[in-house]
Structure 1
Amino acid sequence: MDDTYRRGPFLLLAGRANRPLASEIGDIIGESPDGATIQQFADGEIFARIDRNARGRDVFIIQSTNAPADTIMELLLLADAARRASAARVTAVIPYFGYGRQDRKDQPRVAIGAKLVANLIVAAGADRVVSIDFHQHQIQGFFDIPVDHLYAAPVFTKYFRDKKLEDLVVVAPDVGSAKMARGFGKRLGASFAIIDKRRPSANMSEVLNVVGDVEGMNCLLVDDML
């Protein structure tokens, strides 16, 4: 029977944000993520179509929402298409949740971008979100649907433990990442240091001091955004 009419427990789809990652996930679970057509019109407008039967199926859409904003639009269009195709459930798998920095109103007359993106994903028809290491944990509460917030720390910890690095110090690049860095240090049996810096403007930072012993050490810099 043509695969277009194949029925099954789930359907894996992917946008264009990270096709190699989507393909690796598909290889592991034995399901191709190539079930959708995404094209761009001459004026830049995005077209999305699901090429397989989605009726009554669990649909998983793999798509990060990093810049450019086209990645968000692709996710929204695929979620809307799945909902209109009578999918039983639509899960947005977002390895990297973009706009996570904008998680609060820290200046007058600024948008809370993370909440806006969450609202759009819910409005498009997603029933559940799976993501990894939000910039701030409270972003989970921005969604009015269930969120599975996963952590990459166990994978990274095993990787660096297997390397058997000597004189290892885990460095937090700022106060905001200190808790994460301490956790890595505890798991790896490493010492801890933190960089004291200030941000005079967006995308600019000045290092004022390094608190902790890093001279001659193997430094592991831990952060959720690079």
Structure 2
Amino acid sequence: MRDIIVLGGSSHPNLTKSICRHLTVEQGIVDSKKFSNGETSIEIRDSVREKDVFIIQSGCGEVNDNFMELLITIAACKTASAKRVTAVLPLFPYSRQPDVPHAASLTGAPSMAVKKDKYTFESAPGTPRPMKFENGDIFSNVPPPLNLENPASGATSASNNLINRAIGGFKTTSIITNSASVSLQTNKLPSVDIFGKTESGYKQWIAQNGTLIANLLVTAGADRCITMDLHDPQFQGFFNIPVDNLYSKPLLKRYIIDYIPNYQECVIVSPDSGGAKRATSIADSLGCSFALIHKERRAKISKTPPGSNSSNSATPLMHSSSSINLINNSGMVATTMLVGDVKDKVCVLVDDLVDTSYTITRAAKLLKDQGASKVYALVTHGIFSGDAVNRLSKSSIDKIITTNTVPQIEHSQSLGDKLEVLDVSRILAESIRRIHNGESVSMLFDHGW
């Protein structure tokens, strides 16, 4: 092909070489260096004047450094009079940040890579027990009646007792009222829950980085973007340039047909409700049955007492160990349930991305507990950060199938035969060829390459 230059960043050099081999073109030479203070220096050795430039950089590894390297390379090509610059991001960075504040102690996500010898893979995350007071349980003690006979002393002391008992688990220095300053011996003030909400329902403001990443790419000079399996397809709406979101669905379907025995009898399972549409699409095209693992975290406990006797009516909130096992301080229940029949069947977990592997390993344990004979995990982007590799090696998953949108050499050495890597370089190379020649890319969405 004429007037085309393919440049590769430092995030995934092997993928760049495979794409150039499929395109039968020589890879452009880019010198990427770092100064002693950590700044990135880019020098392009080949001429890009009036050329169609494709820059391949995946959002993995040192994400911030790799993304800054991509921006500088795009700007360097535009400054060198490139005709068009296309950013090829097999894994799009900053596309799946949570909408709640990250707190490792609350959400369970690891803050560092710590390998353990034993994992529980419980399907429901642990939650604290009901709040305890220093003098006993909140549900066991009934506050004393108010002494209204002596307003000067009795009412004040009784009200102080009520205040101390009502908020005994929290500490402030003092409360200023219109009449007096009432000192309280407490521990701490109530804070936000795991969903980032206070008692009033106000949710902490979270910086959504999708618009920022899109604006940075456009400002640097990118004329087009190519990516694969965006975590949220609506992410394309942040751009005012064309974005081609390629699908790994044809590749995963081909693997199921070729390598899973009696694939018509298997069950396609979505590990959460967010990926249900992706899993049902594969299940419908293969004619397989579908199952869904549903995580419920926002079911409020009923505040009406289950009994009508006087002893139960005195307690403001009751809980039953037979119906609700996991209760947190905000009155929420954490449960996980399986919708569908998987007994004595081969289950195929389908997801777009595995990062810490908490969700997919818990889902595999739940499937094995429900009688599944074998569990496969098909994911597009296998990031495997933190202690994910160790968790996967000890999990109930029999085989993990992922793609090489992220480097998998180290992961393959750790997981061995349990991990199988599918090559996506041919799909990316064909999309580059079609865009360069002005042909349609929509055929790759349904049929792959």
* Shift in Å, 1:74: 1.1
Deviations 1:48-107 (A, max 9, x none): 111100000000001112353111111101101110010000000110112111497995
- Asked whether the 8 Å contact 1:103–1:112 carries over to 2, the reply is no
TM-score between both structures, scaled by the size of structure 2: 0.45
Alignment of 1:136-155 (within 5 A): 136-155=232-251
Deviation readout 1:100-130 (Å, 9 max, x if unpaired):
1149799532111122111111111000011
2:83 alignment counterpart: 88
Alignment match, 1:174: 272
3-state SS of 2:342 partner:
coil
Task: Report 1:89-104 matches (<5 A).
Answer: 89-102=84-97
Cα pair 1:103 1:114 within 8 Å, conserved: no
Contact 2:28–2:46 under 8 Å retained in 1: no
How much does 1:32 deviate?
3.1
Please tell me whether Structure 1 or Structure 2 has the larger radius of gyration of its CA atoms. Answer: 2
Gaps of 5+ in 2: 101-195, 197-202, 299-333, 355-449
Higher strand residue share:
1
Which range moves more in the overlay, 157-166 or 187-196? 157-166
Alignment of 1:1-226 (within 5 A): 8-66=2-60, 67-102=62-97, 107-166=203-262, 167-198=265-296, 208-226=336-354
- Taking only the aligned residue pairs, the percentage that are identical comes to 40
Following the alignment from structure 1 to structure 2, what is the Cα–Cα distance between the partners of residues 198 and 75?
A: 39
Partners of 1:20 and 1:109 in 2: how far apart? Answer: 40
Q: Is the 8 A contact 1:173 1:223 kept in 2?
A: yes
Q: Greater shift after overlay, 56-65 or 165-174?
A: 165-174
Query: SS of the residue aligned with 2:352?
Result: coil
Instruction: Tell me which amino acid in the other structure corresponds to 1:49.
Output: E
Aligned equivalents of 2:95 and 2:335: distance in 1?
Answer: 23
For residues 80 and 199 of structure 1, the distance between their equivalents in structure 2, rounded to whole angstroms, comes to 45
The answer to which of 135-144 and 97-106 deviates more is 97-106
Could you tell me which runs of 5 or more consecutive residues in structure 1 were left unpaired when the two chains were aligned: 1-6, 201-205
Q: Give the match for residue 4 of structure 1.
A: none
Residue of structure 1 in register with 2:319 after alignment: none
Contact 2:5 2:28 in 1 (8 A): no
Contact 1:13-1:36 within 8 A present in 2 as well: yes
Name the SS for the 1:224 alignment partner.
Answer: strand
1:99–1:113 CA contact under 8 A, matched in 2: yes
The alpha-carbon deviation at position 197 of structure 1 amounts to 1.8
Whole-angstrom CA distance in 2 between matches of 1:55 and 1:122 = 20
Q: How does the TM-score come out when normalised to structure 1? A: 0.88
Question: Once the 2 structures are TM-superposed, how far is the Cα of residue 198 of structure 1 from its aligned partner?
Answer: 4.8
Two-structure CA RMSD over aligned residues (Å): 2.2
- Larger RCO (CA within 8 A; separation ≥ 6): 2
Q: CA deviation at 1:165?
A: 2.6
Give the SS at the match of 1:121. helix
SS for the counterpart of 1:43 is coil
CA distance in 2, matches of 1:199, 1:72: 35
Mapped partners of 1:165, 1:188: distance in 2: 13
Aligned residues: 215
